[in-house]
Amino acid sequence: MPAKRRQATPAAKEPVGKQRKLAPTEEEKKTKAGGWLEEEVKQQRTQNKEMGFITKRLRFISDTEEMRQGSEGVLYWMLRDHRVQDNWALIHARRLALEEKVPLHVCVCLHVPKSQLSTLRHYSFLLKGLEEVAAECKALGIQFHLLRGPAGDLLPGFVSEQQLGAVVTDFSPLREPLTWLEDVKKKLPKDVPLIQVDAHNIVPCWVASPKLEYAARTIRGKITKQLPEFLTDFPLVEKHPHAATRTAKPVDWRELLSSLGVDRTVGETEWAMLESFIDVRLKRFDSQRNDPNAAALSQLSPWIRFGHVSAQRVALQVQRGGRKLGVGVSSFIEELVVRRELTDNFCFYNEKYDSVEVPRPPGAYEWARKTLKDHAKDKRPYIYTREQLEKAETHDKLWNAAQFQVVREGKMHGFLRMYWAKKILEWTPSPEEALASALYLNDRYELDGQDPNGFVGCMWSICGIHDQGWAERPVFGKIRYMNYKGCLRKFDVAAFERKY
């Protein structure tokens, strides 16, 4: 179908992708009854309730390391990893609270910036997860607090008011969370330790490598060498025995979502989960993961991005499921662990992780910066505005279909996301504009946008990050090239175009 005949859904008044569910395939319908994974995981946590905490998972942000004596609780500032179970940051906070025999508190500081990237899609997904967190905290005797505003403005005062003796938080390598962390550190009482635990990566980012890594090949050995130590089971977070005298204010989640000043034209979506991946899709992941028409991917990146699911839990269950099914899982572990943790490394050790022209350490590698500069003025075969791209108004039906997929479903197939970003480089006036547009569209519509994976995915496609130079050609220079004919050799392009 020609692009001009499709509706411009991103600009529509009604939310796009609202409650779009993926219909189960016939194969999924024939699998065993759902729910087995939850019970299996619960048993594993119970069996490992004495599992120790590896202190290399944490680092002290504050100068003081000793918990303030005579305090009335420990606080876990939940920043990136929005879950109770399988969360090393919460596990450590609870450990401190048990040692001091004080209550345990969890706090989220909800700040919604005025931006086109603040969409109903993202905040609805976040709040649904937090609602489950709050309910589980209540059942376990943990006080859950939701504060409206920037952490630097609210958290230090909250700690003083509640007379809390330590603050534990999780880890994000991105610019804004690191700024929030520094703001809290400056204003927090000097006798209250601020402790950061990497609950997102299996091998903590600062342990995996102390420097910016050049590519997957340079970090792979460092991570895999340490996986036996860090890829462990989690202990069960049980009911906390020390009750708080001051209880948290309950949250009206429906009212909260309706009150947020977000862009509601980008609506909610729903996707598949871990159990169906192990039951159905895992066995074809290795051979069919690059086919956008095949049900072969885990579809878990939104849950991992928002911290609703632990990547470490996913790795453990997929390894176990793979052994039962008799299929290899090395290619999945490569993407889930090595490639994903490489993106945290890139963003943590390079604050200009979303820029073409930056000082050393380079955002774009020197060879890539040079080749992009050399070809910046090359004639483009087509020029499209950001608005045309957003509305999928290009000559390329495959690209349009990929854009329609992300607008409607909140997720684009990984192979197509590479093709999609590289075409943006080919169809915009400069590499800088191409990167800005790719990041805008990715972060606005992808449920796993605004995340190191998204930044590095666009930087790889457009700026050659973690890649090598290839045969030189117009516009791309030595940046890896992808085209429509190449996709025709990979999968049934027409079938994908018909679908979207």
Per-residue model confidence as pLDDT tens digits over 84-124: 999 999 999 999 999 999 999 999 999 999 999 999 999 99
433 and 345 belong to one structural domain: no
136 and 161 belong to one structural domain: yes
Task: Judge contact between 338 and 220, C-beta under 8 A.
Answer: yes
Asked if residue 66 belongs to a domain, the reply is yes
313 and 211 belong to one structural domain: yes
Share of the chain above pLDDT 90, in %: 83
Task: Judge contact between 51 and 237, C-beta under 8 A.
Answer: no
> Among residues 296, 316, 349, which one ends one of the domains?
349
378 and 463 belong to one structural domain: yes
> Among residues 142, 177, 200, which one ends one of the domains?
200
CA angle at 144 for the pair 140 and 150, rounded to the nearest 5°:
155
Range of the domain at 323: 203-235+272-349
Per-residue model confidence as pLDDT tens digits over 49-93: 888 899 999 999 999 999 999 999 999 999 999 999 999 999 999
179 and 311 belong to one structural domain: no
Q: What is the pTM of this model?
A: 0.92
| Overall domain count for the chain | 3
342 and 388 belong to one structural domain: no
Asked if residue 83 belongs to a domain, the reply is yes
Per-residue model confidence as pLDDT tens digits over 464-482: 999 999 999 999 999 999 9
| Average pLDDT of span 25-34 | 51
- pLDDT at residue 11 is higher than 50: no
392 burial level (CB within 10 Å; 0-12, 13-18, 19+)? buried
Per-residue model confidence as pLDDT tens digits over 341-355: 999 999 999 989 999
What is the reported pLDDT for 130? 98
220 and 165 belong to one structural domain: no
Q: How far is the C-alpha of 146 from the C-alpha of 134, rounded, in Å?
A: 9
180 and 215 belong to one structural domain: no
Asked if residue 107 belongs to a domain, the reply is yes
127 and 110 belong to one structural domain: yes
What is the reported pLDDT for 49? 80
C-alpha distance across the termini of the chain, in Å: 9
158 and 304 belong to one structural domain: no
The CB-side HSE value for 427 (13 A sphere, CA atoms) comes to 23
Specify the CATH number for the domain of residue 169. Answer: 3.40.50.620
221 and 345 belong to one structural domain: yes
Asked if residue 224 belongs to a domain, the reply is yes
3-state helix, strand, coil in the chain (%, to 5): 50, 5, 45
At position 367, the amino acid (one-letter code) is W
Specify the CATH number for the domain of residue 296. Answer: 1.25.40.80
Asked if residue 463 belongs to a domain, the reply is yes
Name which of 101, 103, 162 is nearest 137 in CA terms: 103
> Among residues 301, 317, 349, which one ends one of the domains?
349
Q: How far is the C-alpha of 455 from the C-alpha of 347, rounded, in Å?
A: 8
128 and 219 belong to one structural domain: no
